[in-house]
Amino acid sequence: MNKVKKNVAEALEGIGDNMTLMLGGFGLCGIPENAIKQLVLLGVRNLTCISNNAGVDDYGLGLLLQNRQIKKMISSYVGENDEFERQMLSGELEVDLIPQGSLAERCRAGGAGIPAFYTPAGYGTEIAEGKETKVFDGKPHILETCLTADYSIVKAWKADTEGNLVYKATAMNFNPVMAMAGKITIAEVEEIVPAGALDPSFIHTPGIFVQRVFQGAVFEKRIEQRTTRNREENGIR
């Protein structure tokens, strides 16, 4: 089955107000940047967004926050976005902060059909309030439920026409688990190859989980924080 869409607009057809979206990426690495820009153009509102982070003020999910399109964020790290902080502290934005490992596992569980699991992460903190607890091997655990979404939007390096995906480097962090957990999964990719061109041993997400694929037009690939050293400090002359 050829799952390739001609552009981002066609790939995102059907996304509307009040939906839950998963968006892959880690920091600014491996985010579906073309798809996020299209969501801004669509003007969809009251979104619940599940993502490891909330982008920065003028890039990634920060664009949707600036436009007041997100009603609730479910994420684990939000320290680089001043607008996120302002909306959260003012009560404009609902926020569910989750330990990073728990977020990844809740997405993976959703894709695997596992409704809930126990984890020690978060016990004894506000995260555990109102959640069932049990003791395993003398250690208290809290019950966490899985996460799923109406649409999962992920970023991959390569795809074939049948939706098999290959990620690169840090983009492996959240994209693979989120690709499994959406009712409809949309993959934004840098390159599309014919079916059969990818080595099956190196496919990270099988096409069975992916419904739509499109090739991104432009990739900025911003760096969240650039740190450099003086050449002499590194022994370079």
pLDDT digits (tens, 9 = 90+) for 17-61: 999 999 999 888 899 999 999 999 999 999 999 999 888 888 899
Residue 126: Cβ within 10 Å count: 8
Identify whether 89 is part of a domain. yes
Identify whether 101 is part of a domain. yes
- Please, are residues 171 and 157 in contact by the beta-carbon 8 Å criterion? yes
Identify whether 201 is part of a domain. yes
Residue 43: Cβ within 10 Å count: 9
Identify whether 235 is part of a domain. no
- pLDDT < 50 stretches in the chain: none
Identify whether 178 is part of a domain. yes
Its sign, for the CA torsion 183, 184, 190, 195, is positive
Q: What is the pLDDT of residue 235?
A: 63
Q: What is the pLDDT of residue 69?
A: 97
Using only the alpha carbons of the chain, give its radius of gyration: 19
Q: What is the pLDDT of residue 222?
A: 65
Q: What is the pLDDT of residue 80?
A: 76
Numbers of helices and strands, H then E, in the chain: 6, 11
Q: What is the CATH number of the domain that holds 157?
A: 3.40.1080.10
Identify whether 29 is part of a domain. yes
Q: Which domain holds residue 111?
A: 8-116+147-215
Identify whether 230 is part of a domain. no
The candidate with the shortest Cα–Cα distance to 73, out of 97, 40, 106, 49, is 49
Backbone torsion region of residue 128, taken as left when φ is above 0, otherwise alpha when ψ lies between -120 and 50, otherwise beta: alpha
Q: How many domains does the chain have?
A: 1
Its sign, for the CA torsion 16, 18, 22, 28, is positive
CA distance 83 to 190: 29
Helix H or strand E segment including 155: strand 149-160
Task: Give whole-number Cα distances, 204 to 41, 175, 210, in Å.
Answer: 31, 10, 12
Identify whether 39 is part of a domain. yes
